[in-house]
């Protein structure tokens, strides 16, 4: 009898050793430490755009994937300027279409004089991980990387293939990055779902109270740039002509500044209000409800440095307009022309985006995101959300994929403002939790179900 028990114990141990299904999952604490270390290394690679060279970042990813035995490919789109995209894949049974995790490797440049720490050193200070890209979006990149690594190490059998795509040039045109992939590789990937940037966990952001809200981007505003020009008579400042291009332009711009675009509640924003009540009166929430106009460029002078006694013969201005997803661009320009009401002001498109779609949010993936986030943050509310800036998701929405902007980490308004600003940082605890939730979302959604 005693021998039988010993034999059984031995068999069980042997079974545990040889059966991959029984492999011990990697402990979350260890994964968190590893994620933080990789995050610091990744932040330390300067991928500022311009110039936008991401070759070292791509090699960083390639090295991790190769070490883990995960198939990875690099797609160079311009070797001379370091434009390259990284694609890694964990095959599924083919029963369901793939899920793609998308991130961009480039970051916006820094003004070092405004930073407390070196922005490219992955410095940890007072519970924060600092660095350009800490929130946009090297954080997502590492959460996605760790998701791949854990799926592989834990030998998770998948019904959906899980694809990791890191791209170049999101901060500029997207041409050698996501656009190139959509034109050349997408047919082979054909993901049903895409997880991208465009959502965070926040408090005092959408509402005036501390309600913990995880927003998931399901649509985004369209970004158009309008060039305005006025013409007048050049001359000496001592003898003003009848028509001064700068005066004509400033009168037109004063009318634009005074113009309040009408409030229009789109379906994702209606859903937000339904779930959390009226939105707080903030610049962010204002941008959720209407088309916005920002004057970003104004140039009306001669010489460099500008000659202060010369009247220029023309003036240029650029308006950065962010339109609600269902707003027609031409109608918007017609409306603006009416506001300016001056034929001397010429308006033309500098940038005009193609149509942008919204993704549905009554999906199984949305539910999984909600459930897995609640496991770590039980008091939280998950919301579909209209992203007020542009992301690469627009490219894959046009290809028919359901795209969600998602990062399950807590970010305060103060931290949010560091995106594209100084001292960009994420709370280390938020990052660790996000890595954990990200993995569980992808695992539960893509794993083989035996039911």
Give least dist CB 137 to Zn ion, A: 4
Q: Which is nearer to Zn ion, 168 or 381 (CB)?
A: 168
CA 265-266-268 angle, to 5 degrees, is: 115
Give least dist CB 127 to Zn ion, A: 23
Burial of residue 238 (number of CB atoms within 10 Å: 0-12, 13-18, 19+)? exposed
Q: Does 392 bind Zn ion (CB under 5 A)?
A: no
Q: Does 106 bind Zn ion (CB under 5 A)?
A: no
Report the length, in residues, of the chain: 451
Which x/- pattern over 13-52 shows residues binding Zn ion (rule: CB under 5 A)? ----------------------------------------
Q: Which is nearer to Zn ion, 141 or 312 (CB)?
A: 141
Give least dist CB 136 to Zn ion, A: 4
Q: Which is nearer to Zn ion, 322 or 440 (CB)?
A: 322
Q: Which is nearer to Zn ion, 182 or 393 (CB)?
A: 393
DSSP character string of 177-244: IIIHHHHHTHHHH--SEEEES---EESSSSSSS---EEEEEEEE-EEEEEEEEEE---EETTS--S--
Give least dist CB 407 to Zn ion, A: 10
Q: Which is nearer to Zn ion, 137 or 143 (CB)?
A: 137
Which position's Cβ is nearest Zn ion? Answer: 136
366's CB contacts (< 8 A; 6+ apart) are 216, 382, 384, 404
Give least dist CB 170 to Zn ion, A: 6
DSSP character string of 63-80: HHHHHHT--EEEEEEEGG
Backbone angles phi, psi at 208, to 5 degrees: -85, -5
Give least dist CB 392 to Zn ion, A: 8
Give least dist CB 339 to Zn ion, A: 32
| Binding piece for Zn ion, criterion CB under 5 A, among 56-64, 128-136, 334-342, 364-372 | 128-136
Site for Zn ion (CB under 5 A): how many residues?
Answer: 3
Q: Which is nearer to Zn ion, 161 or 197 (CB)?
A: 197
Cα(234)–Cα(245) distance, rounded to whole angstroms? 9
Q: Which is nearer to Zn ion, 136 or 161 (CB)?
A: 136
Cα(449)–Cα(442) distance, rounded to whole angstroms? 13
**Residues between 197 and 256 that touch Zn ion (CB under 5 A):** 197
Q: Does 136 bind Zn ion (CB under 5 A)?
A: yes
Q: Are 85 and 55 in contact (CB under 8 A)?
A: no
**Nearest residue to 435 via CA among 217, 144, 162, 182:** 144
Cα(87)–Cα(145) distance, rounded to whole angstroms? 11
Give least dist CB 116 to Zn ion, A: 22
Q: Are 100 and 165 in contact (CB under 8 A)?
A: yes
| Binding piece for Zn ion, criterion CB under 5 A, among 135-143, 177-185, 229-237, 354-362 | 135-143
| Binding piece for Zn ion, criterion CB under 5 A, among 16-24, 131-139, 218-226, 230-238 | 131-139
Residue 225 structure tokens = 């740039």
Q: Which is nearer to Zn ion, 197 or 424 (CB)?
A: 197
**Residues between 182 and 201 that touch Zn ion (CB under 5 A):** 197
Give least dist CB 219 to Zn ion, A: 16
Q: Which is nearer to Zn ion, 136 or 415 (CB)?
A: 136
Exposure of 69 in the CB half-sphere (CA atoms within 13 A): 6
Q: Which is nearer to Zn ion, 179 or 234 (CB)?
A: 179
Q: Which is nearer to Zn ion, 267 or 390 (CB)?
A: 390
Cα(204)–Cα(280) distance, rounded to whole angstroms? 8
Cα(200)–Cα(217) distance, rounded to whole angstroms? 9
| Binding piece for Zn ion, criterion CB under 5 A, among 69-77, 134-142, 268-276, 406-414 | 134-142
In the sheet with 124-125, reading across from the earlier edge strand, the strands are 124-125, 128-130, 425-427
Q: Are 320 and 191 in contact (CB under 8 A)?
A: no
Cα(316)–Cα(151) distance, rounded to whole angstroms? 54
Which of 64, 99, 137, 156 touches Zn ion (CB under 5 A)? 137
32's CB contacts (< 8 A; 6+ apart) are 432, 435, 436
Binding residues for Zn ion, rule: CB under 5 A, are 136-137, 197
């Amino acid at each position: 009898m005693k021998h039988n028990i010993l034999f059984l114990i031995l068999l069980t141990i042997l079974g545990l050793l040889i059966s991959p299904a029984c492999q011990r999952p990697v402990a979350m604490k260890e994964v968190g430490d590893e994620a933080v270390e990789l995050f610091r290394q990744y932040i330390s690679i300067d991928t500022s755009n311009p110039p936008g060279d991401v070759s070292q970042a791509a090699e960083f990813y390639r090295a991790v994937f190769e070490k883990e035995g995960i198939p990875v490919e690099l797609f160079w789109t311009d070797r001379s300027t370091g434009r390259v995209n990284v694609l890694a894949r964990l095959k599924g049974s083919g029963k369901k279409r793939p899920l793609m995790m998308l991130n961009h490797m480039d970051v916006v440049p820094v003004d070092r004089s405004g930073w407390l720490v070196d922005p490219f050193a992955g410095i940890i200070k007072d519970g924060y991980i600092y660095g350009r890209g800490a929130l946009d979006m090297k954080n997502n990149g590492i959460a996605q990387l760790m998701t791949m690594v854990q799926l592989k190490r834990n030998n998770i059998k998948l019904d959906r293939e899980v694809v990791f795509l890191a791209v170049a040039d999101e901060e500029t045109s997207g041409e050698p990055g996501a656009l190139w992939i959509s034109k050349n590789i997408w047919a082979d990937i054909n993901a049903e779902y895409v997880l991208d940037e465009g959502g965070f966990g926040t408090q005092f952001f959408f509402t005036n109270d501390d309600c913990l809200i995880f927003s998931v981007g399901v649509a985004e505003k369209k970004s158009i740039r309008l060039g305005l020009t006025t013409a007048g008579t050049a001359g000496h400042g001592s003898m003003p002509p009848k028509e001064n291009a700068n005066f004509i332009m400033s009168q037109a711009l004063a009318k634009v500044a005074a113009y309040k675009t009408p409030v229009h509640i789109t379906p994702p924003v209606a859903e937000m209000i339904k779930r959390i009540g009226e939105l707080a009166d903030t610049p962010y929430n204002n941008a959720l409800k209407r088309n916005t106009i920002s004057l970003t460029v104004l140039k009306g002078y001669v010489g460099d440095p500008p000659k202060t006694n010369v009247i220029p013969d023309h003036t240029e201005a650029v308006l950065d307009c962010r339109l609600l997803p269902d707003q027609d661009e031409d109608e918007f320009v017609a409306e603006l022309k009416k506001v300016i009401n001056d034929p001397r002001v010429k308006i033309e498109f500098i940038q005009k985006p193609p149509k942008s779609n919204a993704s549905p949010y009554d999906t199984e993936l949305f539910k999984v995101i909600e459930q897995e986030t609640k496991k770590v943050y039980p008091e939280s509310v998950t919301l579909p959300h209209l992203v007020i800036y542009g992301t690469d998701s627009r490219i894959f929405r046009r290809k028919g994929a359901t795209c969600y902007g998602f990062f399950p980490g807590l970010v305060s308004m103060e931290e949010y403002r560091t995106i594209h600003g100084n001292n960009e940082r994420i709370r280390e605890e938020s990052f660790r939790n996000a890595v954990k939730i990200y993995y569980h979302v992808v695992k539960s959604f893509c794993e083989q179900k035996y039911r």
